[in-house]
Amino acid sequence: MKTWIYSWIVYPLALGIGMIFGIFRSKVRRTLRLRSWKNHLSLRFHANTPIEYWIHVASAGELEYAMPILNELNLIGKKVLVTYYSVSAQIPVEALPARLPCVALTVPLPHDGLGLMGEFVKLVRKQGVHTLLLLKYEMWPGLLWECNAHGVRVILAEALKPSWFHRKLIHKLSALLAGYETELEGVDHPHRFVVGDTRVERVNERLGSEEPLLVKKLRDILGTRRAVVCGSMWPEDHEVLTNGLKKIVETKTVGSSNSLPDLIWLPHELDRKFPQKAESDLKQIGYDTLWVEKDADLTQVRLSDRPAAFIVFKKGVLVELYKLGRCAFVGGGFVSNVHNVWEPALAGCRVACGPEISRAPEASQLSSEGLLKVLTDASSMSLWLKQAVCTNESGRQDEEVRTRESLARVVETHRGAARRIVDYCEGQ
C-alpha cells in the first residue's frame, strides 16, 4: 500500500511541481522529458551477454566517481548497465560503450513512480543484474523498494552523510561504502565501511592523460607566467574574487609586489550571461580579457604587461587547466557547497575556497591537513591572492615540497578505493 501511494499519488504531485519549475529552467525541463520513455523501454534492453552490475549516476559529476569502478569491472570482464538522471550526463554516459567493453547498455533512469520504475527493475533483473551501485546520494524510494522486491541488492558507494530523508531509506541498502569516516558517523547500519575516495584515482588518471589542444595552446601563451585558476565559479564566488582583486589594486604601492595575478576563469554552468558580466568586471579592474571557446583561434594571442584573464567557456577541461595554475580557487564555497578540490590539489596547486565545506568531506580532510585554505571574505581573498603572486621563489619551493609530502600521505589512504569496492561486491 505504501509503495502504491508513493508511486501513484506522492510522486506524481512532486513531478507536477518539477514540471512547473521546469517552465523557468530549461535543464530541469529537459531532464524530466528525458525520463519519460516508457513506450521505448523494452526496445533498449538487448544484450548478447547477461548483465551482472548496474551503476547509476545522477549527473556528469557522479560519473567521475564511477569511472574507476567501471575500469575495475572491465578488468574482470563483468557486463554493466549504466543509468543516469540529469541531462548533463547524457553525452558522457552514452559514449561509454565505445570506450569500455564492459558497458553493455546506457539508458536514462525512468520516473520513480507511475509504475515505470517497477517495470524497469523487472527488465533489469531479467537481464541478470544482481547488484546496483548508487553513487554518493542518489536514493530514490521507488528504486529501492523495487530492487528489494526483485532481488537486486543495492550498495551506496562513496556514501555521503545521510540527510533526515535518506536515513529513512538506509535499511533498504545492503551496504554503505564511504570515502571518509566522517560520512558514516552516527549511521546505524550493520554493513558500513570506509574504502577511500575513487575520485582520487579518476583525477590522477585524467592528469596523466594527454592534454586537450586548448590547454596546450594556453600553456604556450602563458609561457613562464603561471595563473590562478578560478574553477566552477558562481556569481557569489565571483563577487568575493573581484572585491579581493580590487583591494589589491587599492593597496598597491610603487615598487611593491602587490600586482594582480593572471587568471583562468571558468563558470560552473555554461550560461553566457554570467561569464560576460565577469569579463566586464575584470576589465574594469584592469585586466586584458580573452574569451576562450572550443574553436577559439589563439595563434595570434600575445600577452602584454597588463594582467591577463582567460574566460574559458567550455566543459571538460577544468582538471587539465589546473596544471597551468600556481594556485586555484574552487567555486561553490560561497554558495551552498564547494566543488571538487581534489582536482587542483593533485595538479599541484595551492588551493582555496569559500567557507561552505561541511558537505564536502574531501575539502574538510584537505583543510585539516593544511592543504586547503578556507576564505571567508574579500579581505582573506586579497591576502591569499597576494601570496599567490609573491616573488620569493625559494620560499615557494620549500612550501611546495612540504605540500607534496603531505598530499602524498593523504592520497595513499585513498589509493585502490575502486578495487576495494569491487572486491566487496564480488565477495558477497
CATH code of the domain in which 128 resides: 3.40.50.11720
Q: Are residues 172 and 233 in the same domain?
A: no
Residues 129 and 235 reside in one and the same domain: no
Position 255 scores a pLDDT of 45
Compute the average pLDDT of residues 36-65.
Answer: 77
**Residue pLDDT, tens place only, 288-305:** 999 988 766 677 778 888
Q: Specify the higher pLDDT residue, 404 or 26.
A: 404
What is the spatial distance between Cα 341 and Cα 348, in angstroms, rounded to a whole number? 11
> Using CA atoms, how far apart are residues 425 and 211, in angstroms rounded to an integer?
34
pLDDT of residue 30: 67
Q: Select the highest-mean-pLDDT range: 149-153, 251-255, 387-391.
A: 149-153
User: 366-397 as b/e, with b when 16 or more CB fall inside 10 Å?
Assistant: bbeeebbbbbeebebbbebbbebbeeeeeeee
- Is residue 187 pLDDT above 60, yes or no? yes
Residue pair 47/79 in contact (Cβ under 8 Å)? The answer is yes
Convert the pLDDT of each residue in 83-101 to its tens digit: 998 888 888 999 999 999 9
108 and 179 both lie in a single domain: yes
Span 39-66, average pLDDT: 80
Shared-domain flag, residues 106 and 228: no
Residue 261 has pLDDT above 60, yes or no: yes
Q: How confident is the model at residue 39 (pLDDT cuts 50, 70, 90)?
A: very low
In a domain, 206, yes or no: no
Q: Please check whether residue 389 lies inside any domain of the structure.
A: yes
Domain assignment present for 20: no
Three-class SS of residue 103? strand
Instruction: Identify the pLDDT of residue 254.
Output: 44
Predicted local confidence at residue 372, as pLDDT: 95
Sheet architecture: strand order including 350-353: 288-292, 308-312, 263-267, 227-233, 325-330, 350-353, 372-374
d(CA 365, CA 359): 11
Considering 166, 195, 224, which residue would you say is the last residue of a domain?
195
Go through the chain and tell me how many residues it has. Answer: 428
pLDDT of residue 23: 59
Asked if 131 and 54 count as a contact pair (C-beta separation under 8 A), the reply is yes
Q: What is the mean pLDDT of residues 31-42?
A: 60
The reply to whether 252 and 126 lie within a common domain is no
Phi then psi for residue 194, to 5 deg, are -95, 120
Percent of the chain past pLDDT 90, that is, above it, reads 56
Mean pLDDT in residue range 113-121: 84
Residues 320 and 371 in one domain: yes
* Residue 24 pLDDT exceeds 60: no
341 and 245 inside one domain:
yes
Given a cut of 70, is residue 21 above it in pLDDT? no
> Domain range holding 298?
211-412
In a domain, 50, yes or no: yes
Question: What's the number of domains the chain is made of?
Answer: 2
- What's the pLDDT at 8? 67
Average pLDDT over residues 7-27: 64
Does 234 score more than 60 pLDDT? Answer: yes
Condensed to tens digits (0 to 9), the pLDDT of residues 130-164 reads 999 999 988 989 999 999 999 999 999 999 999 88
22 in a domain, yes or no?
no
Chain segment 204-225, per-residue pLDDT in tens: 999 988 888 888 888 888 888 8
Do residues 337 and 403 share a domain? yes
Q: Is the pLDDT of residue 236 over 90?
A: yes
Containing 409, the helix (H) or strand (E) segment is helix 393-412
| Residue that has been written with the C-alpha cell 515505470 in this structure | 116
Q: Where are the alpha helices (DSSP H) in 255-374?
A: 273-285, 318-321, 342-346, 361-368
Grid coordinates belonging to 157: 558507494
Q: Are residues 304 and 393 in the same domain?
A: yes
Alpha carbon distance 173, 178 (integer Å): 13
Please check the confidence at residue 322 and state whether its pLDDT lies above 60. Answer: yes
Contact of 352 with 328, CB cutoff 8 Å: yes
Pair (384, 271) in one structural domain: yes
What is the average pLDDT value for the chain, to the nearest integer?
87
- CATH number, domain of 363, equals 3.40.50.2000
Looking at the structure, tell me whether residues 103 and 61 fall in a common domain. yes
- If you average pLDDT over residues 242-258, what whole number do you get? 75
